[in-house]
Amino acid sequence: RRMFPTFQVKIFGMDPMADYMLLMDFVPVDDKRYRQVAFLSRRYAFHSSSWLVAGKADPATPGRVHYHPDSPAKGAQWMKQIVSFDKLKLTNNLLDDNGHIILNSMHRYQPRFHVVYVDPRKDSEKYAEENFKTFVFEETRFTAVTAYQNHRITQLKIASNPFAKGFRDCDPEDWPRNHRPGALPLMSAFARSRNPVSSPAHQNGTEKDAAESRREFEREAGGTALHQAEAAHQQLM
């Protein structure tokens, strides 16, 4: 899966005409495996907003590096905008052959960001230690999780992660304006007036009751709002 939130950086101080490569790797924060205890599960639990140590860490995964797909590029290009590692993917599959970053589930990791100067000199290997800089931001530490046991966390991720659109019933940004949440109370009321289950016309079997309930709804909602709601209802149908 793509890592979310996406790791993004703003870079300063590069030579605008020199070439640089940007890359990332991940190192364990400690030698522990974590768990959550608020749920009836042996694998995960969450308690008092803190992770609990579950034991010794699993054997280390193969160390891999993710190169930003635009590497190498001139310093001027890297500095002109925010650099986003939105193509970076994580996996817990030890047999992965796609070059993704392999992590152990329920372990804590620290992402590291590396800037490598592409030295044009023929004997550049002599200066290898001078040609790169590593940056560590502690606020980017995270716990790798394969499956969330808390359904509220799952829903939050589906709602917030741009790569989870396929799991949503619909995307609020794609709704027409008269379908957006502000119009929902009116839409709900109008839908109930048209609902075969709750409509007086279907309960009593008379068109008179249907007409009376329509006039009552129109008095409450106002004619203009009613027409907008009916148009929206027809569009939904």
Alpha helices by DSSP H, listed for the chain, are 75-79, 151-160, 184-194, 200-204, 207-221, 223-236
What is the per-residue pLDDT for 183? 41
Q: Which of 16-20, 42-46, 142-146, 191-195 has the highest mean pLDDT?
A: 16-20
- Residues 45 and 35: their CA atoms lie apart, in Å, by 6
- Residues 88 and 64: their CA atoms lie apart, in Å, by 12
What is the per-residue pLDDT for 132? 92
User: What residues does each domain of the chain span?
Assistant: 8-147
- Residues 18 and 73: their CA atoms lie apart, in Å, by 8
Fold of 8-147: Immunoglobulin-like (2.60.40)
- Residues 25 and 111: their CA atoms lie apart, in Å, by 6
- Residues 21 and 67: their CA atoms lie apart, in Å, by 7
What is the per-residue pLDDT for 206? 46
Q: Is the pLDDT of residue 179 over 90?
A: no
What is the per-residue pLDDT for 212? 54
Which amino acid is residue 55, in one-letter code? Answer: G
- In tens, the pLDDT along 3-58 reads 888 999 999 999 999 999 999 999 999 999 988 655 444 454 444 456 789 899 99
Average pLDDT score over residue span 184-212: 42
Q: Is the pLDDT of residue 159 over 80?
A: yes
- In tens, the pLDDT along 77-90 reads 999 999 999 999 99
Answer for the pair 56, 107: CB distance below 8 angstroms, yes or no.
Answer: no
Please provide the average confidence, as pLDDT, over all residues in the chain: 75
Hey, CA dihedral for 41, 45, 47, 52, is it positive or negative?
positive
What is the per-residue pLDDT for 215? 54
What angle is formed at CA 51 by the lines to CA 147 and CA 114, rounded to 5 degrees?
80
What is the per-residue pLDDT for 41? 43
